[in-house]
């Protein structure tokens, strides 16, 4: 009977993980930590809710008070607001993760499940066609989220050396789609014509949000450690996505797009600068073989099926 704490427990992914854990007979206690109270209608029977900043010493105190043996660490800034600074993102993403890991070792936690990202590999022209877990992590410094995921994984590697008693399960997650997911990537698909960088297919790997939650719960229940890419089978190019949406693409040469982004950012028409070209041009494409063969989890939807389900939800 495991006792679990979920950081970021009121987020869209965290709330799904909390609900699944609370319903499982193998889990005796669920603690949901977040900086905000959940809406009253989203509170679940059998779940303890607590307010805590992941950068605060309160995390260790709460883990000890609730006798937690497993932590699912999901707290991060994935979609920053227009007024969010890079320093604020660094504090939550990197310093917060350090604090949670330190709290785990102080409190006798045996297992931590971490949501990393395919962005930790970085957006690079020489990325292999399919990235495996053994490939180097080169998260780009110009992208806060990518850099922070790389830094967190470097911290996790240090903890594996210094604290081998703390088992780690790290999920490098692809682009998450779900019925209610809205972010800078899904915004690309809302345009009348989908942007395509000349000379680049820019393939996307998608994973359904419920599959991500199920994989995390499986990690908690089995205690299986390791590093795993989390993505559905296959990938979709921007052309294929446009076809599925009944739209056309507009193909722009890379230098012209970089110049347009520079000018748009200079005129404050967009928050994105020319560095965004890498994000559009060199998508990290994740091989999910280890997830299926070693971890023992097969996503219920392929990349294509996840996108079709996302499309159906948008149309509805």
pLDDT digits (tens, 9 = 90+) for 108-134: 999 999 999 999 999 999 999 999 999
Under the banding of pLDDT at 50, 70 and 90, the label for residue 34 is: very high
Residues 6+ apart with CB under 8 A from 293: none
Whether the pLDDT of residue 81 is over 90: the answer is no
Q: Which has the higher per-residue pLDDT, 275 or 253?
A: 253
Structure tokens at 296: 């023992």
Under the banding of pLDDT at 50, 70 and 90, the label for residue 72 is: very high
CATH number of the structural domain spanning residue 224: 3.40.50.720
Residues 6+ apart with CB under 8 A from 75: 7, 8, 11, 14, 33, 34, 54, 92, 96, 100
Q: Determine whether 310 is exposed, middle or buried from the number of CB atoms within 10 Å of its CB (0-12, 13-18, 19+).
A: buried
Q: Measured on CA atoms in the order 244, 180, 52, 31, is the torsion positive or negative?
A: negative
**pLDDT tens readout for residues 127-175:** 999 999 999 999 999 999 999 999 999 999 999 999 999 999 999 999 9
130 domain residue, yes or no: yes
Residue 217 CA to residue 230 CA, distance in Å, equals 14
What's the pLDDT score for residue 276?
A: 83
Residue 130 CA to residue 146 CA, distance in Å, equals 18
Range of the domain at 31: 2-181+207-232+285-301
What's the pLDDT score for residue 198?
A: 92
Structure tokens at 7: 């950081």
Q: What are the angstrom distances between the C-alpha of 107 and each of 64, 76, 167? A: 5, 22, 14
In 237-254, which positions are buried (b, 16+ CB within 10 angstroms) versus exposed (e)?
A: bbbbbbeebeeebebbeb
For residue 166, how many other CB atoms are within 10 A of its CB? 19
What's the pLDDT score for residue 305?
A: 98
* Residue 111: half-sphere exposure toward Cβ, Cα within 13 Å: 19
Residues 115 and 227: beta-carbon distance below 8 Å: no
Count up the domains in the chain and report the number: 1
10 domain residue, yes or no: yes
Q: Quick check: pTM over 0.75?
A: yes
What's the pLDDT score for residue 80?
A: 77
Residues 6+ apart with CB under 8 A from 182: none
211 domain residue, yes or no: yes
Under the banding of pLDDT at 50, 70 and 90, the label for residue 238 is: very high
The rounded Cα 265 to chain-centroid distance in angstroms is 26
Q: What are the angstrom distances between the C-alpha of 135 and each of 12, 143, 286? A: 29, 19, 11
Residues 94 and 151: beta-carbon distance below 8 Å: yes
- Mode of pairing for the β-strands spanning 27-34 and 47-51: parallel
Residue 78 CA to residue 116 CA, distance in Å, equals 11
């Amino acid at each position: 009977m495991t006792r679990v704490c979920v950081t970021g427990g009121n987020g869209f992914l965290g709330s799904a993980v909390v609900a699944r854990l609370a319903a499982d007979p193998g889990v005796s206690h669920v603690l949901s930590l977040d900086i905000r109270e959940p809406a009253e209608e989203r509170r679940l029977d059998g779940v303890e809710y607590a307010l805590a900043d992941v950068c605060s010493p309160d995390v260790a105190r709460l883990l000890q008070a609730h006798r937690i043996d497993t932590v699912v660490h999901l707290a991060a800034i994935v979609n920053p607001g227009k007024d969010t600074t890079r320093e604020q993102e660094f504090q939550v993403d990197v310093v917060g993760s350090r604090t949670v890991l330190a709290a785990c070792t102080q409190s006798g936690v045996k297992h931590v499940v971490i949501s990393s990202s395919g962005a930790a590999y970085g957006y690079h022209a020489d990325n292999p066609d399919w990235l495996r877990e053994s490939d180097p992590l080169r998260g780009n410094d110009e992208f806060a989220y990518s850099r922070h995921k790389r830094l967190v994984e470097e911290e996790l590697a240090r903890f594996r050396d210094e604290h081998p008693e703390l088992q780690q399960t790290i999920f490098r997650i692809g682009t998450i789609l779900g019925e209610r997911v809205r972010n800078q990537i899904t915004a690309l698909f809302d345009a009348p014509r989908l942007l395509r960088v000349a000379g680049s297919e820019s393939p996307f790997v998608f994973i359904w949000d419920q599959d991500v939650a199920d994989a995390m719960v499986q990690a908690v229940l089995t205690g299986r450690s390791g590093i795993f890419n989390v993505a559905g089978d296959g990938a979709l190019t921007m052309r294929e996505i446009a076809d599925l949406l009944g739209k056309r693409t507009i193909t722009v040469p890379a230098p012209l797009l970089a110049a347009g982004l520079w000018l748009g950012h200079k005129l404050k028409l967009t928050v994105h600068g020319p560095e965004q070209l890498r994000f559009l041009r060199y998508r990290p494409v994740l091989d999910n073989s280890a997830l299926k063969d070693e971890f023992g989890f097969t996503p219920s939807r392929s990349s294509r099926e996840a996108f079709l389900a996302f499309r159906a939800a948008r149309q509805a």
